[in-house]
A = this chain, B = another copy of it.
């Protein structure tokens, strides 16, 4: 279990780390966010995460933004202070304490470590069940602290025995609350939404692994009625990797079991992650 986190680069016990109640990210739900998975002391795909954290912070007009070099060095300081291991590392850039209570200024940087278990092999075979909900996240290209709809829908999700909620805009399938969404088309192409979604880091690395293997991928608008015709579907996320989607709103996808294309994506991502971790050199 990680036990220390940081506020403005000061490492301290997580249960003692605090934020002023004047900070707008608390008061107005406006801040940028990212989530890294540290596995055996290695911050997986850290450069992709820090590039996105920078992009999200710029889209929100938050700053000053610490440099990616500074953030990377600090991530390693935090990993060392926690004695390495496997855990989640949440990054936040806040909106500060403007007198008008509305205009971001003098951002704080917060790094919060949280437990993150390694998924069991059973998890892949059990797969995910999704329910759908019409919702388009505001400023979807940015990863933010605005999980209002996701938290609100969590009780309904549990009641329906689902693992996540799949957002659509009435015409197009977009993404789940904490995962990116893929389906396998009739011709075997891997299809995922090409816009109006979060640029998921695991989504990106799954696409890289599929393309590197010469498999057909298509990033484009995905019509809602394509989902029922898909032979397979899966989600990708930082901690779950490639996770088969076996049913949506109670309707089975394909034969309701993880399919061969999903297994292939899973194996390719797994190999890509292992290769990335082997080649990783800390700064």
Contacts and interface: CB of A to CB of B under 8 A. Distances in A.
A283 B269 CA distance: 64
A25 B19 CA distance: 12
B15 A18 contact: no
Interface in A176-216: none
Nearest to A24: B151
Interface residues of A, number: 48
Interface string A131-158: 0000100110000111111111011000
Contacts of A21: 5, 7, 14, 17-19, 92, 110, 112
B115 A151 contact: no
A103 B154 contact: yes
Contacts of A19: 18-21, 26
Interface in A1-46: 5, 7, 14-15, 17-31, 33
A279 interface: no
A214 B152 CA distance: 41
Interface stretch (A63-71, A94-102, A245-253): A94-102
Contacts of A259: none
A interface: dominant SS: mixed
B115 A30 contact: no
A60 interface: yes
A151 B95 contact: yes
A231 to B, nearest CB: 31
A139 B135 CA distance: 12
A19 B18 CA distance: 5
Contacts of A61: 155
Contacts of A104: 151
A90 interface: yes
Given A17-B21, A18-B19, A154 B112 contact: no
Interface string A92-125: 1001000101111000001010110000000000
7 contacts: A26-B145, A27-B90, A27-B112, A28-B151, A29-B146, A99-B115, A138-B149
Interface of A: 5, 7, 14-15, 17-31, 33, 60-61, 90, 92, 95, 99, 101-104, 110, 112, 114-115, 135, 138-139, 144-152, 154-155
For the complex of A and B, the 10 pairs showing the least CB-CB separation, nearest first, are: A29-B29, A18-B18, A28-B147, A30-B151, A146-B148, A29-B146, A26-B26, A29-B145, A17-B21, A138-B149
